Amino acid sequence: MPADLLATPDLLRSVFRRHAAGVAVVTARGEAGPVGFTATSLTSVSAEPPLLSFGVGTGSSSWPAIAAADHVGVHILGEHQQELAATFARSGVDRFGPPTAWREGPEGVPVLDGVLAWLVGRVVARVPAGDHRIVLAEVVHGDPTGTGRPLLYHQGRFQRLGD
Protein backbone atom coordinates (compact mmCIF):
# COMPACT_ATOMS: atom_id res chain seq x y z
CA MET A 1 0.00 0.00 0.00
CA PRO A 2 1.44 3.43 -0.91
CA ALA A 3 2.58 5.54 2.04
CA ASP A 4 0.22 8.37 1.07
CA LEU A 5 -2.77 6.14 1.88
CA LEU A 6 -1.69 5.23 5.39
CA ALA A 7 -3.73 6.81 8.17
CA THR A 8 -1.75 9.69 9.71
CA PRO A 9 -2.65 13.05 11.24
CA ASP A 10 -1.31 14.72 8.07
CA LEU A 11 -3.57 12.59 5.86
CA LEU A 12 -6.62 13.55 7.93
CA ARG A 13 -5.69 17.25 7.81
CA SER A 14 -5.05 17.10 4.05
CA VAL A 15 -8.39 15.47 3.32
CA PHE A 16 -10.37 17.83 5.54
CA ARG A 17 -8.70 20.89 3.97
CA ARG A 18 -10.75 19.93 0.91
CA HIS A 19 -13.99 19.85 2.93
CA ALA A 20 -15.65 23.27 2.99
CA ALA A 21 -17.15 23.98 6.40
CA GLY A 22 -19.21 26.73 7.90
CA VAL A 23 -17.46 28.89 10.48
CA ALA A 24 -18.76 29.29 14.01
CA VAL A 25 -17.47 30.83 17.21
CA VAL A 26 -18.16 29.00 20.46
CA THR A 27 -18.24 31.07 23.66
CA ALA A 28 -18.62 30.44 27.37
CA ARG A 29 -18.37 32.31 30.62
CA GLY A 30 -15.13 31.49 32.40
CA GLU A 31 -13.96 32.25 35.93
CA ALA A 32 -11.56 34.91 34.61
CA GLY A 33 -13.98 36.27 32.00
CA PRO A 34 -15.44 35.20 28.67
CA VAL A 35 -13.69 32.63 26.48
CA GLY A 36 -14.24 31.58 22.89
CA PHE A 37 -12.74 29.91 19.87
CA THR A 38 -13.37 29.48 16.16
CA ALA A 39 -14.86 26.11 15.23
CA THR A 40 -15.62 24.36 11.97
CA SER A 41 -16.71 21.14 13.67
CA LEU A 42 -20.24 22.34 14.48
CA THR A 43 -22.96 19.76 13.83
CA SER A 44 -26.72 19.60 14.26
CA VAL A 45 -27.23 16.30 16.09
CA SER A 46 -30.96 16.00 16.82
CA ALA A 47 -34.18 17.96 16.37
CA GLU A 48 -36.02 16.24 19.26
CA PRO A 49 -34.55 17.26 21.60
CA PRO A 50 -32.64 20.03 19.80
CA LEU A 51 -28.99 19.01 20.19
CA LEU A 52 -25.77 20.29 18.65
CA SER A 53 -22.15 19.23 18.94
CA PHE A 54 -18.69 20.68 18.40
CA GLY A 55 -15.13 19.59 19.02
CA VAL A 56 -12.65 21.40 21.23
CA GLY A 57 -8.99 20.58 21.82
CA THR A 58 -8.11 19.78 25.41
CA GLY A 59 -4.92 21.81 25.00
CA SER A 60 -6.76 24.96 23.94
CA SER A 61 -6.92 28.00 26.20
CA SER A 62 -10.74 27.81 26.09
CA TRP A 63 -10.97 24.17 27.21
CA PRO A 64 -10.87 24.74 31.01
CA ALA A 65 -13.87 27.10 30.82
CA ILE A 66 -15.74 24.86 28.35
CA ALA A 67 -15.00 21.87 30.59
CA ALA A 68 -16.67 23.63 33.54
CA ALA A 69 -19.44 25.54 31.74
CA ASP A 70 -23.10 24.66 32.18
CA HIS A 71 -23.98 26.60 29.00
CA VAL A 72 -22.19 27.55 25.77
CA GLY A 73 -22.92 29.96 22.96
CA VAL A 74 -22.64 29.01 19.30
CA HIS A 75 -22.46 31.78 16.70
CA ILE A 76 -22.77 31.30 12.92
CA LEU A 77 -20.48 33.83 11.25
CA GLY A 78 -21.22 35.79 8.10
CA GLU A 79 -18.81 36.38 5.24
CA HIS A 80 -18.29 39.93 6.57
CA GLN A 81 -16.73 38.46 9.76
CA GLN A 82 -13.44 37.02 8.49
CA GLU A 83 -11.43 39.15 10.92
CA LEU A 84 -13.64 38.09 13.85
CA ALA A 85 -13.09 34.44 12.88
CA ALA A 86 -9.33 35.04 12.69
CA THR A 87 -9.32 36.77 16.09
CA PHE A 88 -11.05 33.83 17.77
CA ALA A 89 -8.66 31.41 16.01
CA ARG A 90 -5.50 33.19 17.30
CA SER A 91 -3.76 32.33 20.54
CA GLY A 92 -2.63 34.94 23.02
CA VAL A 93 -5.00 37.77 22.01
CA ASP A 94 -7.87 39.45 23.82
CA ARG A 95 -10.68 37.92 21.81
CA PHE A 96 -13.38 39.94 23.56
CA GLY A 97 -11.59 43.31 23.47
CA PRO A 98 -12.27 45.96 20.81
CA PRO A 99 -13.25 45.66 18.03
CA THR A 100 -15.24 42.55 19.11
CA ALA A 101 -18.81 43.60 19.93
CA TRP A 102 -20.62 41.34 22.39
CA ARG A 103 -23.01 41.31 25.32
CA GLU A 104 -23.99 38.99 28.12
CA GLY A 105 -26.79 36.80 26.80
CA PRO A 106 -29.08 34.14 28.19
CA GLU A 107 -27.61 32.00 30.98
CA GLY A 108 -24.73 34.51 31.24
CA VAL A 109 -23.20 33.28 27.98
CA PRO A 110 -21.26 35.85 25.89
CA VAL A 111 -23.27 36.55 22.70
CA LEU A 112 -21.48 38.12 19.73
CA ASP A 113 -23.13 40.97 17.83
CA GLY A 114 -23.69 40.98 14.07
CA VAL A 115 -23.67 37.21 13.52
CA LEU A 116 -26.01 35.39 11.14
CA ALA A 117 -27.49 33.35 13.99
CA TRP A 118 -26.70 32.28 17.52
CA LEU A 119 -27.73 29.57 19.95
CA VAL A 120 -27.22 29.01 23.65
CA GLY A 121 -27.06 25.38 24.70
CA ARG A 122 -27.01 23.55 28.02
CA VAL A 123 -24.03 21.18 28.02
CA VAL A 124 -25.28 17.61 28.38
CA ALA A 125 -22.06 15.66 27.65
CA ARG A 126 -18.35 15.97 26.98
CA VAL A 127 -17.16 12.87 25.13
CA PRO A 128 -13.43 12.04 24.97
CA ALA A 129 -12.18 11.87 21.36
CA GLY A 130 -8.39 11.68 21.07
CA ASP A 131 -6.84 15.05 21.92
CA HIS A 132 -10.31 16.67 21.77
CA ARG A 133 -13.65 16.47 23.48
CA ILE A 134 -16.94 16.37 21.60
CA VAL A 135 -19.34 18.65 23.46
CA LEU A 136 -23.06 17.92 23.18
CA ALA A 137 -25.42 20.74 24.11
CA GLU A 138 -29.20 21.00 24.19
CA VAL A 139 -30.40 24.25 22.64
CA VAL A 140 -32.30 26.46 25.10
CA HIS A 141 -32.21 29.92 23.43
CA GLY A 142 -31.36 31.36 20.04
CA ASP A 143 -31.85 33.94 17.33
CA PRO A 144 -31.76 33.03 13.60
CA THR A 145 -32.53 36.54 12.27
CA GLY A 146 -29.10 37.90 11.29
CA THR A 147 -28.64 38.86 7.66
CA GLY A 148 -25.99 38.01 5.11
CA ARG A 149 -24.25 34.99 3.69
CA PRO A 150 -22.23 32.41 5.63
CA LEU A 151 -18.48 32.43 6.06
CA LEU A 152 -16.75 29.22 4.95
CA TYR A 153 -13.40 27.62 5.70
CA HIS A 154 -11.69 25.74 2.87
CA GLN A 155 -8.07 24.91 1.97
CA GLY A 156 -6.82 26.60 5.15
CA ARG A 157 -8.49 29.95 4.45
CA PHE A 158 -11.73 31.75 5.17
CA GLN A 159 -13.81 31.91 2.00
CA ARG A 160 -17.02 33.42 0.67
CA LEU A 161 -19.85 31.32 -0.72
CA GLY A 162 -19.85 31.34 -4.51
CA ASP A 163 -23.03 31.62 -6.55
- In this structure, what CATH number is given to the domain that contains residue 33? 2.30.110.10
Is 8 inside a domain boundary?
A: no
Q: At residue 2, does pLDDT exceed 70?
A: no
User: Which whole-number Å values give the CA distances from 52 to 113, 126, 136, in the listed order?
Assistant: 21, 12, 6
Is 65 inside a domain boundary?
A: yes
Mean pLDDT across 27-42: 95
Please answer whether residues 152 and 20 qualify as being in contact, where contact means their C-beta atoms are separated by less than 8 angstroms.
yes
Tell me the residue range of the domain where 134 lies. 22-156
Mean pLDDT value across the chain? 94
Is 105 inside a domain boundary?
A: yes
Q: What is the pLDDT of residue 13?
A: 84
DSSP character string of 31-95: TTEEEEEEES--EEEETTTTEEEEEEETTSTTHHHHHH-SEEEEEEPBGGGHHHHHHHHSSSS-T
Is 9 inside a domain boundary?
A: no
Is 82 inside a domain boundary?
A: yes
Is 127 inside a domain boundary?
A: yes
Is 48 inside a domain boundary?
A: yes
Q: At residue 4, does pLDDT exceed 70?
A: no
Is 108 inside a domain boundary?
A: yes
Mean pLDDT across 116-122: 98
Percent of the chain with pLDDT over 70: 97
Domains: count for the chain: 1
Please answer whether residues 146 and 117 qualify as being in contact, where contact means their C-beta atoms are separated by less than 8 angstroms.
yes
Q: How confident is the model at residue 84 (pLDDT cuts 50, 70, 90)?
A: very high
Q: What is the pLDDT of residue 131?
A: 95
Mean pLDDT across 75-102: 96
